[in-house]
Homo-oligomer: A and B are copies of this chain.
Amino acid sequence: MEKKEKDISTEEKIKEAARIVFTKKGFSGTRTRDIAEEAGLNLALLNYYFRSKEKLFHIVMEEKFEQFFGMVIRLLDDESTSLEKKVTAVANDYIDMLLANPDLPIFVLSEIKNNPAHFSDRISGRLLKSVFFRQLNEVRPDMNVFHFILNLLSMIIFPILAQPIISQVGAMKDKEFKKFIIERKKLIPIWFNSILNTK
Interface residues in chain A, defined as those with a beta carbon under 8 Å from any beta carbon in chain B: 25-26, 28-29, 106, 109-110, 112-114, 116, 119, 124, 127-128, 144, 146-147, 150-151, 153-155, 157-159, 161-162, 164-172, 180, 183-184, 187, 190-191, 193-195, 197-198
Alpha-carbon distance A166/B149, docked complex (angstroms): 12
Q: Is B116's CB under 8 angstroms from A164's CB?
A: yes
Contacts of A112 in B (CB 8 A): 164-165, 168
Alpha-carbon distance A164/B111, docked complex (angstroms): 10
Q: Is B119's CB under 8 angstroms from A165's CB?
A: yes
Most buried by B among A158, A170, A180: A158
CB-contact partner of A144 in B26, B166, B183, under 8 A:
B183
Nearest-Cβ distance from residue A166 to partner chain B, whole angstroms: 8
Q: Is A171's CB under 8 angstroms from B146's CB?
A: yes
Q: Is A29's CB under 8 angstroms from B114's CB?
A: yes
Contacts of A166 in B (CB 8 A): 146
Contacts of A198 in B (CB 8 A): 190-191, 193-194
Q: Is B110's CB under 8 angstroms from A169's CB?
A: no
